[in-house]
Structure 1
Amino acid sequence: MFQSNQFHNTLDNMAQNTSNSDIPPNRDDELDSANKSGSENQEGASGEDQEPSAKKKRYHRHTQHQIQEMEAFFKECPHPDDKQRKELSRELGLEPLQVKFWFQNKRTQMKTQTERHENTQLRTENDKLRAENMRYREALSNAQCPNCGGPTAMGEMSFDEHHLRLENARLREEIDRISGIAAKYVGKPMVNYPNLSPSLPPRPLELGANGGFGGHPAGIRGGDMYGGGGDLVRSISGPTEADKPLIIELAVAAMEELIGMAQMGEPLWLTSPDGTKFVLNEDEYIRSFPRGIGPKPNGFKCEASRETTVVIMNHVNLVEILMDVNQWSTVFSGIVSRAMTLEVLSTGVAGNYNGALQVMTAELQVPSPLVPTRESYFVRYCKQHVDGTWAVVDVSLDNLRPNPSARCRRRPSGCLIQEMPNGYSRVTWVEHVEVDDRGVHNLYKQLVSSGHAFGAKRWVATLGRQCERLASAMATNIPTGEVGVITNREGRKSMLKLAERMVISFCAGVSASTAHTWTTLQSGTGADDVRVMTRKSVDDPGRPPGIVLSAATSFWLPVPPRRVFDFLRDENSRSEWDILSNGGAVQEMAHIANGQETGNCVSLLRVNSANSSQSNMLILQESCMDSTGSFVIYAPVDIVAMNVVLNGGDPEYVALLPSGFAILPDGTTTHGSGIGETGPGGSLLTVAFQILVDSAPTARLSLGSVATVNNLIACTVERIKASLSPELQD
């Protein structure tokens, strides 16, 4: 692993002339929860707590000691009287009014947490009742008379039937209410279902036993890993009761618009001059869809695109992936850095996602710290139409809760899914956003402005590649083309799950997410500045404990993306850029193909050290490519832990610190297939490392460690440039 003696020897040699002075630890000050003294607490406390105060004071910050003392007192007495508050204020050096407001806010906080817990319990109980309702119904339909073998008389189960009818009546009223709102916009009510059944839970894809695509809980990956706060994805709460009718109306109108955007041709969609894509006619769009979320904000640009593809996945599974936030953010981990469902307004009817409504937040990314992420607050609506086509649409809810810092909003976007023979599906994807992209670095301006960075082509290309990966993972037999130490299906499956977690971890940590705090270092190497950040890893079986330093940089190469991808993924050329291999020969020990493209695979590599006194190193690597971009991601792995995985053991406890490369076209090629283009056009390459600089989570980060990692990434960049574009060297 990176923390091995071999790695530390390499880093020590690189950092001989580096200063060893310490950087003071970064620590967010704990903000005081007290309100302004003139405000009134809404908790409904006793009259003695509601003392008037005409004088307003500024916010105060309590020390850690003050907070700890008040926390301890709160456990014993959550409602202190005047005498107790004055005693506390003297001991802690605070004003009595500060103590009073702290306890008021603490009681409100505890009350809110209790209510949330109770709501969760009620939802769980409701789900159990629905499941029990279903079992009763099945028992009613299958019941037989023990004497004659015929159907049971109606009177014998009248009690159970009575409860079923009450439950069905309640559910029918809910559907009728939504149907009435829909009728205002669509001109006809939704289909009434006489026999309602509880919605099916999301069915996990086969690759993972714990649910989700590979069993990885990908709901809030970036925030969980890097400890951000105060950003849009986390700060928005669920909708109010007053918002919900408006959300339903907006979702129904958005569904109508998505169908039109997906099916209409000219004059709404015009063919680009080079004939490679459709371009939205904005004037015709306004005429065709006058209703919606309002005019485009000042300073925002419109990005609209449409793509159609055929994927190797059943249409029902595709709908489940899109409607389950964990599966959706895992399948699209290169695009979705974080996502969460705030509230489910409807779970659907007839045992599937038909009619499902979810209020969500998501953060979309380009794998580079030079492109700001796009945060969105939206509703997702799923519907099956009369011809059997499924549609899933997203539309922004920013108008309900205006946020002056929002830089992106989604007009109706999503996809139509049509069933095809042999388990295939035809997917038509529409992506339509309005965005303020002034924060994009000049290197990525052309790629983003062309619409390829966040457009429909990237979504369908990623979906097609991931469907092929899943088909490979579900293979019952090990293909004859695969070689190496994998001898059984369970070991193959575990290795794929471990590689999937590695890719998710890399993608979640490489972008300019609001959950990250990057510090820019002057590299002085001709590359763009290196961005670094630190995080503490504690009690996480999937990562080694200690201080982890992440470093990333992006730069341009005058080399086609396909050539860069082939160079970086090839184990035979690894010694040309990988400093940590120390010039040792690299041998592929295992190989798992992930689709028709030869570059899409998972490999287990062994670095045979040139120095016989040093131990060999194992590297897990996944390389993947589609028409819009590619990744080469790797992580050193422990030999003992990897043997457990190869024997079918649980890969979740294998500690990983993934590093790697994200390769995108520079946007200058106006024809061809983007990443696969071998003609004109260069590449935008992002290099990212994660290094364990100290195994103690409480350690202080030294300047020497920062300088060493900076030198490591700068040296890697120089080696890649020297190998692929020697003309750039001085």
Structure 2
Amino acid sequence: MEYGIGGGAGSSGGGGGGGGDHHDSSDAHRNKKRYHRHTAHQIQRLESLFKECPHPDEKQRLQLSRELGLAPRQIKFWFQNRRTQMKAQHERADNRALRAENDRIRCENIAIGEALKNVICPSCGAPPMSEDSYFDEQKLRMENAQLREELDRVSSIAAKYMGRPISQLPPVQPIHISSLDLSMGNFGPGICGPSLDLDLLPGSSSAGIPNLPFQPTAFSDMDKSLMADIAATAMDELLRLLQTNEPLWIKSPTDGRDVLNLDSYEHHFPRANNHLKNVNVRIEASRDSGVVIMNAFALVDMFMDTNKWIESFPTIVSMARTIEVIPTGMLEGQSVSLQLMYEELQVLSPLVPTREFYFLRYCQQIEQGSWAIVDVSYDLPQDNQSTSQYRLHKLPSGCLIQDMPNGYSKVTWVEHVEVEDKTLIHPLYRDLVHSGLAFGAERWLATLQRMCERFACLMVTSTSTRDLGGVIPSPNGKRSMMKLAQRMVNHFCASVSMSNNQRWSTLSGSSDIGVRVTAHKNTDPGQPSGVVLSAATTIWLPISPQNVFNFFRDERTRAQWHVLSNGNAVQEVAHIANGSHPGNCISVLRAFNSIQNNMLILQESCIDSSGSLVVYSPVDLPAINMAMSGEDPSYIPLLPSGFTISPDGRTEGVVGGDGASTSCNTRGNMGKSGGGSLITVAFQILVSSLPHAKLTMESVTTVNNLISNTVQQIKAALNCPST
């Protein structure tokens, strides 16, 4: 860390890193804030002396001034800032320990209280006598009084030490455990009863404000100054990663991707953060660049607005929130923005745990028409990833956005993360995740390009020639249909994700991994009200993702996999393009010879280099007509199902999920990389319109059979082995 007069990295004011010859300048020149960064040698010498003597006298400061070529005033302020930071670190550590101890005592007290509520007599099974209850209650009251006194005493000591009062701790939230997690491992005879009484999860809504794993306390000025210092250092590192090629980045001989040279990286950044350095740590580093159909200013606004950030990356970002906006006066320069954020990133499969980050996002205008945005992890005092399946640290990552003519932008993206897996990645996704493709720069950029094309299509006023019932949708009708389809995709992504607010349980099934299910109560006005069961499974096929995508989106082959269609063919009666690729479109499908002539299928298909989606939902004819006429589609109920398709991350011979070579007769060539596809099949079923209904065994069996039969029909249609 480098420290300067203003509390940030480097130094400002009296002189530069090369000497103190600027003190004789004019008052105007002296009053102008200047930013100088100390050299590595200066920092090393200052740190060495600080360990020996944190309070050097004037003679020692003068000696350092002559030795390092710094002004005495710079030496003085450097030591002041360093002492202040050390004090802040000790304060945070002490405060963290106090809070942990208090939380432990509080949890013990709650556990004792809950246990006493359920005390029964071992002989007769009756509740305890009222006298015992009375004495137990009095004992708890006495313990609570002692705890309050202890908390007040510790708080007063900490407040005296920190120089300010400590805010009240948030109440401990009760932990709800679904009975689904406890009783639905296998559904063999006699294991489960005729009904399952679920502690259902509340329905999720992308419009709501997500609940964080914990609520951060207020940040002091010292905390914000430290954040500004970390952000400025991260920005310097990111710009070098973005603008430097060899030897920092080298081309992969297998696929031509940019690969970070770790030896060169450690040479360029000797003080790089290595929070997780041990044999289990894996480095994921990637870089990619491309042209995006959106101007730089609009992209910057998209990245700095949490709601737009989620809307722009629905397949990657499952949750995000801005925690704190840091005053930009703590950073030198103009046109800058700094904020502390939380995000949860996903791969659309119940087999891949989500990744959570608390990070600083710092945006700075580099020059006219050029912006840089850096993300870097920020360790909050209360943050504890011990319960997560990952320990993660985001090293400086982000993008450089440069304006181009005609409203386009060139975007260069870097993702750099240290990962320590506490549990093994599922074999199906191991190659994809370990290669960096699952959360890497290529996926971020490909998704950004596709979504920007979608936004551009939303603004185009031309309409489709293929229409429903002879009614050509107006420009407003087209926008309404695109918004309805986007909400459908968002709900589908939320239902498939292995987010922290989803609790999946495994059923037996024809797939090697089984069928994963979760249940929740829908409260969103844009979804059917009641209890919804979500089910998903993932399979591997030795077929290229492009060929699998073509098979699913083609209405002529739909009857081969859609088990609920009863073999009836479907016809596309409305079509809206939402991208340059012909597979990026919204369709309205109508089934032939269907009993429900009033029911249609809304479908959106989208594809980019990182993968593809085919999502659909039944919608009745009046609702479709309402959307086509341009009315607000927010309250049209949707219950989406569909498929996610991604490459398997392998670069050599086609290998089956069990490691054995596999082949099948497909309708096209396999992926040129030699790998196959990972397909997640997901369905949602409305179990009951009553919010307090129980999940019956019949519903579980139905969805299990639906998933299993769909998988078998897919493999049969593509002439692939069924095992």
Q: Give me the TM-score of the superposition, normalised by structure 1.
A: 0.68
TM-superposed CA distance for 1:59, in Å, is 3.1
Report 1:285-324 matches (<5 A): 285-298=265-278, 299-324=280-305
Name the counterpart of 1:44: none
Name the counterpart of 2:42: none
Match of 1:712 among 700, 706, 715: 706
Give per-residue Cα distances to partners, 1:504-533, cap 9 Å, x unaligned: 11112212212211010111x144211001
> Helix, strand or coil: the match of 2:693?
coil
How many Å separate the matches in 2 of 1:366 and 1:419? 31
Name the counterpart of 1:423: 407
Name the counterpart of 1:629: 611
* Worse-matched range after superposition: 629-638 or 577-586: 577-586
Maintained 8 Å contact 2:526/2:637: yes
* Worse-matched range after superposition: 92-101 or 571-580: 92-101
> Helix, strand or coil: the match of 2:246?
coil
Residues 494 and 376 of structure 1, relative CA distance in 2, 3 Å threshold = same
Name the counterpart of 1:502: 488
Name the counterpart of 2:177: none
Maintained 8 Å contact 1:486/1:590: no
What is the one-letter code of the residue matched to 2:311? T
How many Å separate the matches in 2 of 1:637 and 1:704? 25
Maintained 8 Å contact 2:395/2:416: yes
Maintained 8 Å contact 2:598/2:620: no
Maintained 8 Å contact 2:266/2:272: no
Give per-residue Cα distances to partners, 1:527-557, cap 9 Å, x unaligned: 421100100123x311111110000110101
1:729 aligns with 2:713: no
TM-superposed CA distance for 1:570, in Å, is 1.0
> Helix, strand or coil: the match of 2:398?
strand
1:546 aligns with 2:530: yes
Name the counterpart of 1:601: 585
Name the counterpart of 1:132: none
TM-superposed CA distance for 1:447, in Å, is 1.0
Match of 2:620 among 638, 662, 684: 638
> Helix, strand or coil: the match of 1:407?
strand
Name the counterpart of 1:137: none
Maintained 8 Å contact 1:226/1:535: no
Maintained 8 Å contact 2:227/2:360: yes
What is the one-letter code of the residue matched to 1:328? W
Maintained 8 Å contact 2:466/2:574: no
* Worse-matched range after superposition: 283-292 or 427-436: 283-292
> Helix, strand or coil: the match of 1:697?
coil
Structure 1: runs of 5 or more not aligned? 1-35, 42-52, 67-85, 117-221
Match of 1:648 among 607, 619, 630: 630
TM-superposed CA distance for 1:580, in Å, is 1.7
TM-superposed CA distance for 1:94, in Å, is 6.5
Residues 654 and 404 of structure 1, relative CA distance in 2, 3 Å threshold = closer
Maintained 8 Å contact 1:395/1:410: yes
> Helix, strand or coil: the match of 1:555?
strand
Match of 1:512 among 481, 498, 518: 498
Match of 2:641 among 659, 664, 668: 659
How many Å separate the matches in 2 of 1:444 and 1:327? 29
Residues 439 and 346 of structure 1, relative CA distance in 2, 3 Å threshold = farther
How many Å separate the matches in 2 of 1:635 and 1:102? 58
TM-superposed CA distance for 1:113, in Å, is 10
Maintained 8 Å contact 1:336/1:362: yes
> Helix, strand or coil: the match of 1:551?
strand
Name the counterpart of 1:278: 258
What is the one-letter code of the residue matched to 2:438? A
1:531 aligns with 2:583: no
How many Å separate the matches in 2 of 1:619 and 1:654? 13
TM-superposed CA distance for 1:240, in Å, is 2.3
Maintained 8 Å contact 2:225/2:330: no
Maintained 8 Å contact 1:371/1:439: no
Residues 112 and 223 of structure 1, relative CA distance in 2, 3 Å threshold = farther
Give per-residue Cα distances to partners, 1:184-234, cap 9 Å, x unaligned: xxxxxxxxxxxxxxxxxxxxxxxxxxxxxxxxxxxxxx996189xxx9943
Q: How many residues align?
A: 542
1:567 aligns with 2:575: no
TM-superposed CA distance for 1:371, in Å, is 1.0
TM-superposed CA distance for 1:291, in Å, is 3.3
1:367 aligns with 2:352: no
Give per-residue Cα distances to partners, 1:464-509, cap 9 Å, x unaligned: 0001101001112225577874421111111100111111111122
Q: Percent identity?
A: 49
Residues 678 and 573 of structure 1, relative CA distance in 2, 3 Å threshold = farther
What is the one-letter code of the residue matched to 1:521? L
Name the counterpart of 1:260: 240
1:477 aligns with 2:473: no
How many Å separate the matches in 1 of 2:218 and 2:496? 31
Report 1:423-502 matches (<5 A): 423-437=407-421, 438-478=423-463, 485-502=471-488
Residues 464 and 112 of structure 1, relative CA distance in 2, 3 Å threshold = same
Residues 224 and 390 of structure 1, relative CA distance in 2, 3 Å threshold = farther
What is the one-letter code of the residue matched to 2:432? L
Name the counterpart of 2:49: none
Name the counterpart of 1:377: 358
Maintained 8 Å contact 1:375/1:407: no
How many Å separate the matches in 2 of 1:61 and 1:629? 51
TM-superposed CA distance for 1:688, in Å, is 0.7
Name the counterpart of 1:345: 326
How many Å separate the matches in 2 of 1:378 and 1:517? 26
Name the counterpart of 2:377: 396
How many Å separate the matches in 2 of 1:58 and 1:416? 50
> Helix, strand or coil: the match of 2:307?
helix
How many Å separate the matches in 2 of 1:467 and 1:552? 29
Residues 615 and 480 of structure 1, relative CA distance in 2, 3 Å threshold = closer
Maintained 8 Å contact 2:294/2:409: yes
Match of 2:574 among 582, 590, 593: 590
Residues 585 and 113 of structure 1, relative CA distance in 2, 3 Å threshold = farther
TM-superposed CA distance for 1:58, in Å, is 7.3
> Helix, strand or coil: the match of 1:728?
coil
TM-superposed CA distance for 1:572, in Å, is 1.3
RMSD: 3.7
Maintained 8 Å contact 1:355/1:381: yes
What is the one-letter code of the residue matched to 1:508? A
How many Å separate the matches in 1 of 2:266 and 2:685? 51
Match of 2:540 among 552, 556, 565: 556
Maintained 8 Å contact 1:302/1:433: yes
How many Å separate the matches in 2 of 1:648 and 1:604? 16
TM-superposed CA distance for 1:642, in Å, is 2.2
Maintained 8 Å contact 2:511/2:708: no
